[in-house]
Structure 1
Amino acid sequence: MEDALALLSKLTLSETEHQKEKIVSQLIKLVCELNEDDDESENDAVQEKIFHHDATDFVLRTLQSQESEELRSLQISCAQLIAELAKVESLREPLVNKGFMPPLTQLLSSKNISLATQVCRALGNICYDNDLGRMAVDKENGMQSIIGVLSHQMNNKEEGSARLRVIVCGFLLNLTNDCEPLQERAIECNILKPLNECITGHMEDEDLTNMALLTVGSLTELDSGKQFAVECGLLDTFLKLLERDWKEHPVDVILDLIASLMESESAKDRAAENGLCQTLAEIVNSDLKNAAEIKAVSDIFISVLTGDTSMEKIYASGEGPLFLQSMDWLSAEKEHVQTLGALAIGNFARRDAFCIQLVEKGVVDKLLTILKGTVGQQDSFMLQHAVLSSLRNLAISATNKPHLLSAGVLEACLSLIHTEHMAVVFKLLGVLRMLIEGQEAAAVKLGQERAFLESLTDWCGQAHAGVKALSSPGEAAVALKEADLADTVSSLLKDPNLPPEMLCNVLSLLKAVLSAENLCDEIATSGVSDVVRSLSESHVDKNVKDLAGSTLSLLDQTISPS
């Protein structure tokens, strides 16, 4: 503390610019040492004392002075001192309130690399997690100044220019991170274009590339940022970085950015054209061991396929190289590759025409081979979930249903009824529902599977809302009775937490089985009528009320004494 006070006193008494600069340099050294010390509370107190000393007014006046050859060296030192002081969180807002932001922002456009560097450091540190500082920069039209610095230094090869480019990107990150108004301002000012130019023009500079990527990540949190990123070519730039780095360096940041952009339909379309998916497929086929990167690559590939236009481009009438690759993945040895293949096929199967072609190409046999190989393997639930998702989509087409039934899809699904994973059960029931739709013989066969019906009753008591909702054919009356279906339906209808759509499904199930004479007594004594009447009179959802009303009428007709 004494050393600091002594230096501050000297600074106020010094007469020449050279003496003042020398003392400011000593203060900088002292503050840097304090910032590196472990005792933060004591060191922060010393720096707060420095800030509140009259000498700070001299620092402010120096920065407010017009840039000149005579003052430049002193201004550089003063800006550096502020940059070091701003590392203390408690000083950031006071620095704004004291008036440092206008002169610092004014000096940002200096052509002197050293001065611009220290000014950028000062502004960036003040803006770190400090909205007051960010708004002050915006008030001084700071975003345009940042663009000016980036543009001026883009191809500069002078000493210090490379470091300045990194610091400008870091300042921009601190200015916009988690701050939507400034993110929007940066996007409006088209800052993504020079950032892209920074990356493409200096790919050999890892520090600059990493900092620019982090900054892009901040700006692409907004939908408008994602759109502009694609328009200015950043997705193509990410591809170049991925192609260059994935074999030798971690690429998690690049993959995260690509995944973020895939929320945009235009990004999916571009990814289907620019070679990104081919590179992703190459990574999938490699011996990559990083589980997180494998998952990220797979997620991006599937994201592209969720777009209608991009999926159609990759499918290419059933002849696209990446579609054929997806088919080959179904026969891969690695489970995560099979999972990716199944998920991809499920997305190609979103179109009726493609569904029929896929079945004709023999995809069902491939999926069944995988499914049969996972029976009893609880740790293969992700693969089971993916395969069942594909089979469900394939089963939607009326043309495909007989083919899937004859191939043994119903039996393969029933072999999984003892799974412990409710997400798999949900998909399993989805496949069965699609398979028996309009297929009376299959519906009756399913309804006579006692083991399945017992499992169905158990599943209805589970927390998974999607599983609670599903129906079974009325022809299987005896098995349904043995499975205590009436009690289960009554319990579900009384559940106050059951969503309206689930209630509608349960009511539809009830209507479907009322034609079974063997269930009439069970239903009459279960108290279902009273519950349905209550729903028809007082439920807030109109669909539930209407369906409950029609179900009640059918109940009255069915169980009333003749």
Structure 2
Amino acid sequence: MTPDDIQDLFKRSEGEVQPAGGDDDETVLTDEEKQYRIAHLRAVLLEAHNAWVSGSESLDRIAEKLGDGSRLALWRSPIGESGILNFFLGILPTPGLRPLLRSHALRLIGNSCADTDENRARVVESGRIHAIIELLHDDSLLAFVIPVLYNVLVDYEPVQLQACEAGLSQKLVEILGGPRLEACRLYVNLVCKILALLITQEPEIRNGPPATPLVLLSVATNRQHPVDLEDFSGLTSVALAYLTHETFQTYILAGLPMLLTAFSMSYTHFDPSQASDPDDAAQLRALRNAFIPVLADISALPDFIPGSAQGGSGILQLPVFQTLQSWLHGPPQHANLQTAACLALGNLARSDAACITFVRDAQIHTPLINLLQRCTAGDTPPNAQLTHAVLSFLKNLAIPAVNKPLLGRLLESNMLPKLWSTWGDSQPQTQFAAVSLARLLLVGCPPNVRRLCAPLSADPDSPAHDRSNLHILTALFERSDAEPTKMEVARAVATVCRILHSTPVSPVLPEEPSQTHGAKRARHDTTNMADDGTIYVNTATSFSPNSASAFSPTSSTFHSPQHQQTSPALHTQSSPTSTTSSSSASSSTRRARFYSAHDLALPLSFLIKQTRFPALRSEAWFVLALMTRAPDGARVVQSALQSFEACRALVESITGRDMADGHDLLLAASSSPPAEGQEDGPLRVRDGQQQQQQQQGQASLGIEGLGLGSLEPQQVDAATQASMARIDRENGLCMVAELVRNHAGDLLPLRKNIYEQLLLTGGELVLHARESSGAVGTDAAMGGVGELGSPGQLMAQQMLGGGQGGSTGGTAMGGYKADWNTQ
């Protein structure tokens, strides 16, 4: 057959039919027509073989016509089955092959494999993918080889694996990264598509050239030879695809400025609204989103910025830091840049030193607060990704104690509290981050507790004066079904209570209403007594000054609080001075008004009932034991323990029994004889204490009679898991002893009976533990056990704590970290 006959053959259209149920533009060949075409193509193959053997240049014309015909989809399968494809695959690597014949052979191979997996399989079986790749060394053939490779590789994994093993990406990267790029510029987009196919295969991830992303980004950001939107998107997209793998992330660290430049150019040089092709616009938007997780991963590498953990001011002068910082000041349209900057800088802020440097020297918190304010402005839900990134960065910055007051503005109503409100319910993850940040801001920071608890209006006549942002936080606790959010709110509440009972109250809680508004306030107090939203109800008459001063811990300074030791001996001593008494009474009154206005018992009860995080429950026992030292706090503790489940948790912590045994103890207590029958218990009481116990209630038998009168609240050492159960028991006993000794009249008979049983049982366990360790002496008392330290020291450690050292993430109340605090 002559070349003209071959051309006429491809014009044949007989036997082309539309299959039943197929698309309108889909046609297939009948079996008879397919066999007809295969037979005639075999005749063409014979002519081609004869021309090859004889060395005739007529083969060039035959190859040309076959290459043209292979563009027709219905001829591709017959070309493969007739053997023509294999014939040209076979002659392709022949040394000295005429350039024209080689180019037509490539055309035939590429066209035959387009959308035809059976022909791609023939390429795999022939093993000629290596030969095709080797032709990339010839600039004159790039226009043929690159499209052929794409047609063969697309949508066919076996040939992609062969290409990876043959080192195709190495050949392509060498072209893009060298002077041969000029010969390949028209095919840059196809090269990117090929690389995008290769990076989906494991061999490429393992063996691909590490410099691939760097080379691609250098082409995309070249100012002397700028690329158009299509090529820019293609180059950066495939670079980011490679950078999702750690092998390539490490190599790009040397070219971080180039990566940041590419991200910035996606905003400054290109606008999706001006793209002529909707697909290009969509790809650009997707590209902007793809940068964020890649930059977050790279910034988490230890060598992202060497030495950043030391927090020296030199880090602020680095171009990478300055670029990221500048993004925080960008317009709202650059939200992705700001999100990425928050994540990257947040990964740098993983030590106290770095966080302090960022806030003190770089004032990095100022643009962050502005960003959060912008996110929470208006009535529509905020940009969830940006808001969460800002909150996560701020959480790291909020860990060092010196940073907390500088970040206190976040507790203003238009920022974090707005996210706690129903306005933020549509984004639970963001809402959780906002609560977690608030808790960190409160830990060890009385000024921030004051901000949280301050009236929403300074005007006593305003309804907002009866509300605080803490109301919004506790309302979220009641409203939310998410356990992590409820847990963080409860921990924040416990932190507030801890500060109220370990630092001077007057700098924390607002002053009492002035005399000029006394009449008006009285009306408020009378009218709103039953309203949950009421705040600062006058309850001063509920507690005497003497009782307030006797039980409230005092502290001379914030950094080193000293707790007044409450023991039985204190009850027989003379009253404090009038000045101290007045101050203590004022503190107790302010706390009492505060507790009357805020229902904090439910969150505190939640902390002790949960079993998922024992460390947090231990910290809750410590806080509750501390609160019982003051009458106002003791009433809150009583409410927190009111539920059956809370009481079971208390039984479990003191007795060490499981929940079922705890239930048996409660049932036994409910049917046990009256308290006066307990004098025949297993341990005898000294006569000198008997009269005092009868005056204060028989519950004291379990603590005074056992020589444990100096029980003090103690903080659990998180590093010593074994100490948790022991200190939980002692804190529980301290709490129960205070309740029974000083507030027995407020207890129901059944609950009082349970507490008395706990004092006896728990006291025996404490003494038994001491005897086992050889720590009991004639003068032994709880405060004298060497390993425990004084409550003042323990509280000072906690108040000075909250720093992260070299660790990552936020610290929980008392130094513990919740499992969900990893962002």
Tell me the TM-score normalized by structure 1.
0.72
Counterpart residue identity of residue 424, structure 1:
T
- Equivalent in 22, 45, 59 of residue 44 of structure 2: 59
Q: Is the 8 A contact 1:121 1:167 kept in 2?
A: yes
Q: What is residue 434 of structure 2 aligned with on the other side?
A: 428
Q: CA deviation at 1:88?
A: 3.6
Q: Is the 8 A contact 2:192 2:234 kept in 1?
A: yes
Farther off after superposition, 286-295 or 21-30: 286-295
C-alpha distance 407-242 of structure 1, shift in aligned 2 (>3 A): closer
Q: CA deviation at 1:98?
A: 5.2
Residue 401 (structure 2) pairs with residue 401 (structure 1):
yes
For 1:401 and 1:353, locate their aligned partners in 2 and report how far apart those are by CA, in whole Å: 11
- Equivalent in 212, 215, 218 of residue 191 of structure 2: 212
Counterpart residue identity of residue 173, structure 1:
Y
Q: CA deviation at 1:455?
A: 0.9
For 1:451 and 1:389, locate their aligned partners in 2 and report how far apart those are by CA, in whole Å: 21
C-alpha distance 234-332 of structure 1, shift in aligned 2 (>3 A): closer
Q: Where is the helix percentage greater, Structure 1 or Structure 2?
A: 1
Q: Is the 8 A contact 2:365 2:407 kept in 1?
A: yes
For 2:641 and 2:5, locate their aligned partners in 1 and report how far apart those are by CA, in whole Å: 97
Q: What is residue 411 of structure 1 aligned with on the other side?
A: 411
Q: What is residue 302 of structure 2 aligned with on the other side?
A: 308
1:42-441 → structure 2 map (5 Å cutoff):
42=27, 44-45=29-30, 48-49=33-34, 52-62=37-47, 66=52, 68-73=55-60, 75-77=62-64, 79-80=66-67, 83-84=70-71, 87-88=73-74, 92=77, 96=80, 99-109=83-93, 111-128=97-114, 131-151=117-137, 153-154=138-139, 156=140, 161=141, 165-199=142-176, 200=178, 201-203=180-182, 205-222=184-201, 224-226=203-205, 228-231=207-210, 233=212, 235-244=214-223, 248-250=228-230, 251-274=232-255, 275-277=257-259, 279-280=261-262, 283=265, 286=268, 288-290=270-272, 292=285, 293-296=287-290, 301-312=295-306, 317-334=315-332, 336=335, 337-361=337-361, 362-377=363-378, 378-396=381-399, 400-408=400-408, 411-412=411-412, 413-418=416-421, 419=424, 420-436=426-442
C-alpha distance 483-280 of structure 1, shift in aligned 2 (>3 A): farther
C-alpha distance 202-44 of structure 1, shift in aligned 2 (>3 A): farther
For 1:169 and 1:421, locate their aligned partners in 2 and report how far apart those are by CA, in whole Å: 47
- Deviation by residue 1:306-341 (Cα, 9 ceiling, x = unmatched): 333234399973321221122233233345254443
- Deviation by residue 1:68-105 (Cα, 9 ceiling, x = unmatched): 225513540464266235x249x64x765554553232
- Deviation by residue 1:413-451 (Cα, 9 ceiling, x = unmatched): 335322242231132233234445566896899799232
Where do 5+ consecutive residues of structure 2 fail to align? Answer: 18-22, 273-283, 454-468, 498-594, 625-636, 652-657, 663-720, 737-750, 757-823
Structure possessing the higher relative contact order (Cα contacts under 8 Å, 6 or more residues apart): 2
Counterpart residue identity of residue 42, structure 2:
D
C-alpha distance 318-230 of structure 1, shift in aligned 2 (>3 A): farther
Q: Is the 8 A contact 2:405 2:447 kept in 1?
A: no
Secondary structure of 2:376's match? coil
For 1:98 and 1:476, locate their aligned partners in 2 and report how far apart those are by CA, in whole Å: 83
Secondary structure of 2:268's match? coil
Farther off after superposition, 480-489 or 170-179: 480-489
For 2:27 and 2:116, locate their aligned partners in 1 and report how far apart those are by CA, in whole Å: 22
C-alpha distance 178-417 of structure 1, shift in aligned 2 (>3 A): same
Where do 5+ consecutive residues of structure 1 fail to align? Answer: 1-18, 494-502, 537-545
- Equivalent in 517, 531, 555 of residue 638 of structure 2: 517
Counterpart residue identity of residue 343, structure 1:
L
C-alpha RMSD of the superposition: 4.5
Residue 603 (structure 2) pairs with residue 504 (structure 1):
no
Farther off after superposition, 182-191 or 306-315: 306-315
- Deviation by residue 1:219-250 (Cα, 9 ceiling, x = unmatched): 12235425655435562243223325767534
Secondary structure of 2:134's match? helix
- Deviation by residue 1:509-556 (Cα, 9 ceiling, x = unmatched): 5555454432112243899899x959x9xxxxxxxxx99x979x9799
C-alpha distance 390-53 of structure 1, shift in aligned 2 (>3 A): closer
Counterpart residue identity of residue 234, structure 2:
V
Residue 10 (structure 2) pairs with residue 23 (structure 1):
no
Q: What is residue 474 of structure 2 aligned with on the other side?
A: 453
For 1:60 and 1:22, locate their aligned partners in 2 and report how far apart those are by CA, in whole Å: 15
Alignment size in residue pairs: 500
For 1:198 and 1:83, locate their aligned partners in 2 and report how far apart those are by CA, in whole Å: 29
Larger radius of gyration: 2
Q: CA deviation at 1:468?
A: 5.9
Secondary structure of 1:54's match? helix
Q: CA deviation at 1:48?
A: 4.8
C-alpha distance 440-135 of structure 1, shift in aligned 2 (>3 A): farther
For 1:51 and 1:401, locate their aligned partners in 2 and report how far apart those are by CA, in whole Å: 85
Q: What is residue 769 of structure 2 aligned with on the other side?
A: none
C-alpha distance 433-484 of structure 1, shift in aligned 2 (>3 A): closer
Q: Is the 8 A contact 1:395 1:435 kept in 2?
A: yes
- Deviation by residue 1:484-530 (Cα, 9 ceiling, x = unmatched): 5499789x98xxxxxxxxx724x665555454432112243899899
Counterpart residue identity of residue 517, structure 1:
Q
Q: What is residue 632 of structure 2 aligned with on the other side?
A: none
For 1:468 and 1:95, locate their aligned partners in 2 and report how far apart those are by CA, in whole Å: 68
For 2:620 and 2:451, locate their aligned partners in 1 and report how far apart those are by CA, in whole Å: 15
C-alpha distance 84-284 of structure 1, shift in aligned 2 (>3 A): closer
Counterpart residue identity of residue 422, structure 1:
P
Counterpart residue identity of residue 27, structure 1:
L
For 1:296 and 1:512, locate their aligned partners in 2 and report how far apart those are by CA, in whole Å: 42
Q: CA deviation at 1:22?
A: 1.5
Q: Is the 8 A contact 2:243 2:249 kept in 1?
A: yes
Q: CA deviation at 1:392?
A: 1.4
Q: Is the 8 A contact 2:229 2:270 kept in 1?
A: no
For 1:307 and 1:116, locate their aligned partners in 2 and report how far apart those are by CA, in whole Å: 48
